[in-house]
């Protein structure tokens, strides 16, 4: 049986990133390379308050901002996608897709993410994991649940909810 809990919801105008991506679909087709101005908000839950707070807003905001900034102005590539061939050539990543498209992008402009695809859902999962790791490393703290919403365009977003096993 679940007991009472408290949560914080944090959204700041600077929780955003502008990135490009393309999706690889199950049948091997891909969508055209394009970009979004993503916006992020989080909700963290705790079973009780420590010092009358779930978690200090002043501590969580720089972590979310750091994760968003790491994605900003990059081509996001899902390195776990088995349909992509990714290798390095000089200072570039070369990305080959199932439709025989070939991208050669400077490494400095590319971020290889440990995800299966670059959907808003998978980006929300990645952002959640990064926030959880940073909060645990810096504060030795884990939310009992952490919800991350990634908005691709106004009115169109995906949500990932991580719940700790009790």
Is 88 among the domain residues?
A: no
Using pLDDT thresholds of 50, 70 and 90, give the confidence band for residue 1.
very low
Angle between helices 120-139 and 57-71 (to 10 degrees): 130
48: CATH: 3.30.479.10
Alpha carbon 129 to chain centroid distance? 8
Is 29 among the domain residues?
A: yes
pLDDT digits (tens, 9 = 90+) for 89-125: 999 999 999 999 999 999 999 999 999 999 999 999 9
Is 130 among the domain residues?
A: yes
pLDDT digits (tens, 9 = 90+) for 15-34: 999 999 999 999 989 999 99
Using pLDDT thresholds of 50, 70 and 90, give the confidence band for residue 130.
very high
Mean pLDDT of the residues in the chain: 95
Characterize the bridge pairing of strands 16-21 and 34-46. antiparallel
Is 139 among the domain residues?
A: yes
Taking CB atoms within 8 Å and a gap of at least 24, the contacts of 45-49 are: 45/5, 45/6, 45/7, 45/143, 45/144, 45/145, 45/146, 45/147, 46/5, 46/6, 46/7, 46/143, 46/144, 47/3, 47/4, 47/5, 47/6, 47/144, 48/6, 49/6
Is 60 among the domain residues?
A: yes
| pLDDT reading at 72 higher than 60 | yes
Only one residue has tokens 């087709």, namely 29
Whether pTM exceeds 0.85? yes
Is 103 among the domain residues?
A: no
The length of the chain is 166
Residue range of the domain that includes 61: 6-74+118-163
Average pLDDT estimate for 39-56: 94
Is 14 among the domain residues?
A: yes
Is 66 among the domain residues?
A: yes
Query: How many domains is the chain partitioned into structurally?
Result: 1
């Amino acid at each position: 049986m679940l007991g009472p809990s408290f949560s914080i919801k944090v959204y700041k105008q600077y929780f955003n990133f502008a990135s490009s991506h393309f999706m690889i679909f199950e049948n091997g087709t891909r969508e055209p390379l394009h970009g979004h101005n993503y916006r992020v908000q989080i909700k963290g839950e705790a079973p009780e308050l420590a010092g009358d707070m779930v978690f200090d807003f002043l501590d969580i905001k720089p972590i979310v901002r750091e994760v968003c900034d790491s994605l900003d102005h990059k081509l996001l590539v899902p390195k776990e996608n088995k349909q992509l061939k990714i290798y390095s050539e000089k200072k570039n990543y070369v990305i080959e897709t199932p439709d025989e498209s070939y991208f050669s992008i400077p490494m400095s402009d590319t971020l290889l993410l440990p995800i299966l695809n670059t959907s808003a859902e998978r980006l929300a999962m990645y952002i959640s994991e990064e926030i959880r790791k940073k909060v645990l490393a810096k504060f030795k703290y884990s939310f009992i649940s952490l919800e991350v919403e990634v908005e691709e365009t106004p009115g169109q977003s995906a949500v990932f909810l991580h719940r700790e096993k009790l």
